[in-house]
Amino acid sequence: MKKHKLLLCLLLLFSLQIFANSSKHCAKDLHALAKARRMGGHLDYLDFSQLHISNHIGNDRYDAHRIVAVRLQTGVYYKLGKKLGYGRYGVVYCIEVGCKLALKIPKSGYRVHSFIEEVKNGPLLKRAGITSAHILDHGYNYAYLIKEYVPGKTAKELLTEGRYTDQQIRELATIYKKAKTHQLSLDVNPANFVWSEEVQTFILVDNFFRGRELGFGDKRLQWWQNELFYHNQDQAQRFAELIKEG
Ligand SMILES: Nc1ncnc2c1ncn2[C@@H]1O[C@H](COP(=O)(O)OP(=O)(O)O)[C@@H](O)[C@H]1O
Ligand SMILES: [Mg+2]
């Protein structure tokens, strides 16, 4: 009987602990949300565990640019950190302290297919030996994507600051060749390539494929040159030479 009571006490303590932790967590994030609302007035909170994705995407019931906090389908709250960027279908934010993860949420005009494609392309990129940000979760019905955060400067930032190093051009040429061999139409927006100092290569952070109509001939090469080198003609030329070298 005594043993029974002790077990019951332990169980009670354990559940109290869980409750305290979760309410502390929620309270902290909701407090941040309330503060953000006070400051901005027009900012929003998105609850993926309450809303069905098809009900609120594409009908402008929310604008992903105004979201300051989210609750994922797993029930976890996140205050959104730095906005990493946005494109046609999504907006990407840092989540967790130190930006450990990147969360991509749909914006108006979103097509579920774009998120499905990103998830499907992950293994294709891996098979081709192209390093891309690992997708860790896509939520039920592809409501959002959680990717590993890749620290570093994007090719776009490197271009704005000046020129690529020879090593960087070599890495781009290697990625180009791998993509060509495996017939993968990478989206060569320079903001999609992050230079990792750690592994000394560019890591693709957007798995979406674009430009299939270009095929894999000269037109595609030209596209890469235009997108990734802008006005640095000599560097674009170097890139083309490296590709011809095989
Ligand atoms: N995992 C990540 N790590 C670092 N930066 C990222 C990551 N994911 C996205 N970004 C940045 O955010 C931008 C927008 O994300 P992206 O997935 O390309 O959106 P879209 O599909 O709408 O183009 C990217 O161009 C990149 O600069
Ligand atoms: Mg992109």
Q: Where are the domains of the chain?
A: 38-148, 153-244
Pocket test for ligand 1, best of 116, 206, 208 (most atoms within 8 A of CB): 206
Looking at the structure, give the CATH architecture of the domain made up of residues 38-148.
Answer: 2-Layer Sandwich (3.30)
Q: Are 152 and 195 in contact (CB under 8 A)?
A: yes
CB 210 within 8 A of CB 187: yes
Q: Whose CA is closest to 196, among 128, 229, 146, 148?
A: 148
The pLDDT of residue 170 is above 70? yes
Q: Tell whether pTM > 0.75.
A: yes
Residue 35 has pLDDT above 70, yes or no: no
For residue 24, give the 3-state DSSP assignment. helix
- In the predicted structure, residue 176 carries a pLDDT above the cut 60: yes
As beta bridge partners, residue 209 has 186
Identify the H or E element spanning 210. none
Q: Give whole-number Cα distances, 80 to 12, 94, 110, 195, in Å.
A: 34, 6, 20, 24
Q: Which of 15-29, 51-65, 163-177, 206-220 has the lowest mean pLDDT?
A: 15-29
Longest dimension (CA), the chain: 84
The ligand 1 site (C-beta within 6 Å) comprises 84-90, 92, 102, 104, 133, 147, 149-150, 154, 191-192, 194, 205-206, 208
Question: pLDDT grade, residue 88 (50/70/90)?
Answer: confident
